């Protein structure tokens, strides 16, 4: 398959290779090929025609705390707090995870700089992986795309989900609000989330709270949040896809905690992958933050 033959190009992630092919930037024996799955024979000449890269905007280093969960010569895993944006944008030019990492990386050897291998929503906490070079970033992306890799999240939701299952719902951007994602049965991109119920508590008449472990089988924007809401199990505190089900809670303290919960109750708990350099199987976990520990008091989980 054509895309596999470009996987070893330095700095070429799977998504980038697919865009090169779909954009007519790749030729085989002088003929432009636009199918990712096109077959390539031995001795075929593959060429990639790309414009010069635009200068990369330098990330301003900031003296911010970085909670390091794992680090070696090639990559690290950090624990992102809720409320912090992952990458600088026009709306958030400073104070991001990457700004903090740029400050942390001041002592790294020449030629190394932090690059995020995946992102988390501003209001989601937990593990983020960081590559120290462009080559490791591309290799790490491929490692995370492997069926042997896994990303597990912990989620606190309203409702009574079954003990386990797979949510298989296509997702697409909302036609009127591009910041929102919706589940659809007419088009969209295939999206699958596996879940397991770890704890369940009845908190009011017709109202329950559940702790779920969710594993991404695909990685789409807002996937877990939209999938759970579409099944009738919205995340506690989700400002976009949530519901005010706290109104029916009988326990005064819990009702107030749910009413004022400051963000979606979603935590990137664990990531497992094969190290792209030495082949070791790595598992990195981020402990539950204080706000989710408060909710866990009402959802005993061993």
Q: How many CB atoms lie within 10 A of CB 232?
A: 12
- The DSSP-derived string for 97-163 is HHHHHHHHGGGSPTT---EESS---TT-EEEEEEESSHHHHHHHHHHHHSTT-EEEEEEEEES---S
d(CA 73, CA 88): 25
Per annotation, catalytic residue among 44, 63, 72, 121: 121
Residue 121 among the catalytic residues: yes
d(CA 205, CA 247): 11
Tokens of 275: 């190290």
Tokens of 59: 């990330």
d(CA 47, CA 254): 61
For residues 154 and 289, the answer to whether their CB atoms sit within 8 Å is no
- What residues contact 178, with CB distance under 8 A and at least 6 apart? none
CA nearest to 273, candidates 75, 105, 1? 75
Return the DSSP state at 186: S
For residues 80 and 97, the answer to whether their CB atoms sit within 8 Å is yes
Active site residues: 121
């Amino acid at each position: 398959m054509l895309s596999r033959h470009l996987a070893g190009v330095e700095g070429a992630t799977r998504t980038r290779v697919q865009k090169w092919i779909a954009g007519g930037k790749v030729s085989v024996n002088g003929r432009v090929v636009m199918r990712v799955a096109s077959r390539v024979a031995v001795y075929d000449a593959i060429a990639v025609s790309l414009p010069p890269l635009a200068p990369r905007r330098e990330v301003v280093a900031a003296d911010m705390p970085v909670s390091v969960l794992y680090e070696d010569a090639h990559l690290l895993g950090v624990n992102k707090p809720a409320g912090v944006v992952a990458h600088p944008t026009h709306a958030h030019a400073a104070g991001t995870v990457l700004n903090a990492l740029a400050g942390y990386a001041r002592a790294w050897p020449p030629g190394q700089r932090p690059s995020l291998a995946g992102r988390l929503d501003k209001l989601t906490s937990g593990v983020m992986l960081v590559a120290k070079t462009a080559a490791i970033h591309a290799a790490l992306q491929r490692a995370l795309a492997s069926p042997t890799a896994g990303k597990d999240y912990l989620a606190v939701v309203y409702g009574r989900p079954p003990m386990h299952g797979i949510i298989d719902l296509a997702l697409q951007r909302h036609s009127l609000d591009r910041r929102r994602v919706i589940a659809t049965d007419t088009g969209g991109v295939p999206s699958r989330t596996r879940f397991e119920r770890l704890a369940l508590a009845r908190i009011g008449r017709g109202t329950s709270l559940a702790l779920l472990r969710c594993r991404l089988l695909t990685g789409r924007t807002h996937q877990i949040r939209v999938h759970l809401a579409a099944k009738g199990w919205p995340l506690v505190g989700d400002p976009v896809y949530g519901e005010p089900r706290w109104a029916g809670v009988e326990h005064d303290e819990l009702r107030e905690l749910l009413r004022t919960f400051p963000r979606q109750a979603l935590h990137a708990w664990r990531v497992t992958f094969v190290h792209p350099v030495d082949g070791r199987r790595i598992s990195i976990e981020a402990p539950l933050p204080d706000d989710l520990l408060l909710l866990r008091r009402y959802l005993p989980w061993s």
